[in-house]
Amino acid sequence: MRVPLLAAAFAGLLALPAAAKTEITVQFVPWMEGIFTEMKTAFEAKHPEYEVTFLPPYADYDDGLQQVLRQSISGQMPDVTNQALNRQKTLISRELAVDLTPFIEAEADWVGEGFGGPVTDVASEAGKTYGLAVAFSSPVAYYNMELVERAVGKIDGFPATWPEMIALAAKIDALGDDISGLYTTADEDWIFQSLVYGSGGRMANEDGTEVMFDKEPGAQAFDIFASMLAEGGMPATTMNNAVQLFYAGKLGIFLQSINGLKRHTDNIGGRFEVKTGLFPRNAPDGTLAAGGNVNMILTTDPERQKAAWDFVRFVSSVEGGEVLVKASGYMPPNTLVAERMKALYDANPNQALSLQQLPMLGEWYAFPGDNGLRIHAKITETLQALMNGQMTADEARTRAAADVNDLLK
């Protein structure tokens, strides 16, 4: 009877239900979807006890913050939210983001595994950490080398200052009515901040009670933008239209984030050569606004917190950083990734440029108080009016400063 009994016992074991997986929900902006999809696959293979579910992407970073604030009222926040570097402080000040310090203190070799300053500093307040950096980016210049060489012949280096950049763009623009010299966006204030910082200026005073972008040297930002339009052949169009112009070989210089490098080169294919160059700065010691995002845990359920921690830790780990670098032009915050990916960077100088700009990166400024998103909107409204010929540089500078100062009161 022993064999049948053993068989029956074994059959009973097979009939037991599989252990339930802990599910966590994650929400992010659209351009992170491909990256997070690859992260999810790798994470779930390593942690079969978890299941990661994506919520519909935010429209953009501002929408991401607004959605979380609304969800906090209805009690429907995601377990993990991916927020812009300049938006996450709002979630900290409103005590929505979970303090990750106890999780970090429980790690055996946190710094030794590359989770040093860059991973935690961007989302730390008063000695506590509320988020882990996922990706860093910087603005760069994408050059259509076919148009550059048609305009000026072979060149040894790219423009380092805005007068040099606009002069080159003007020559490209002169190639024909269907060719535009350069483009950058008026739909956000990230590039604008880099124009201010790169000129040696600041967005606001120390306590954030008054703007400084209307005072020299940062006031040059509006004049630079106006010169791109008047002299550099910048079309008054949207970012999406400009991307299509660039892909079609009709735009000489495209000024935007390094994070789109893989997407742009994949879409262009071999139709023309693309090279990246440093974002111009008029001040030798000027900085650039660091772009990128962080993961923050919002759930208060202990079991889901543990699963969420394991996920955000994985995303910011060496393994997650390697996924990030291969899938995008983003810079990894984990300090060990760049060395691990040396062969990839050596073979891809366009992507390696991001590492060259790292020492130039500064703050992506977030105005204090509850009017941060409204301030962002006011600045972009004036940039759009300048682009569309409804304001001069002086008028845009004066209007933006007045509107923002009013909202800071």
> How much is the pTM?
0.92
Maximum Cα–Cα distance across the chain: 96
Assess whether pLDDT exceeds 50 at residue 1. no
State the average pLDDT over residues 52-64.
97
According to the model, what pLDDT value does residue 116 have? 87
The two tokens of residue 194 are: 């880099």
If one counts every other C-beta atom within 10 angstroms of the C-beta of residue 4, the result is 8
Render pLDDT for 335-381 as a digit per residue (tens, 0 to 9).
999 999 999 999 999 999 999 999 999 999 999 988 999 999 999 99
According to the model, what pLDDT value does residue 128 have? 96
Assess whether pLDDT exceeds 50 at residue 10. no
State the average pLDDT over residues 68-93.
96
The values of phi and psi at residue 328, to 5°, are: -155, -175
State the average pLDDT over residues 54-60.
98
2: pLDDT confidence band, cut at 50, 70 and 90?
Answer: very low
CA pair distance 115, 333, nearest whole angstrom: 8
Render pLDDT for 126-143 as a digit per residue (tens, 0 to 9).
999 999 999 999 999 999
CA pair distance 274, 253, nearest whole angstrom: 10
State the average pLDDT over residues 384-400.
98
According to the model, what pLDDT value does residue 277 have? 98
State the average pLDDT over residues 151-169.
98
Query: Given strand 180-183, what is the order of strands in its sheet?
Result: 180-183, 251-257, 139-144, 274-278
Render pLDDT for 170-224 as a digit per residue (tens, 0 to 9).
999 999 999 999 999 999 999 999 999 999 999 999 999 999 999 999 999 999 9
Assess whether pLDDT exceeds 80 at residue 6. no
Q: Domains, the chain, ranges and CATH?
A: 22-137+290-362 (3.40.190.10), 139-289+367-408 (3.40.190.10)
| DSSP per-residue string spanning 367-387 | -SSTTHHHHHHHHHHHHHHHH
Strand segments, DSSP code E, in 173-328 are 180-183, 251-257, 274-278, 288-289, 291-297
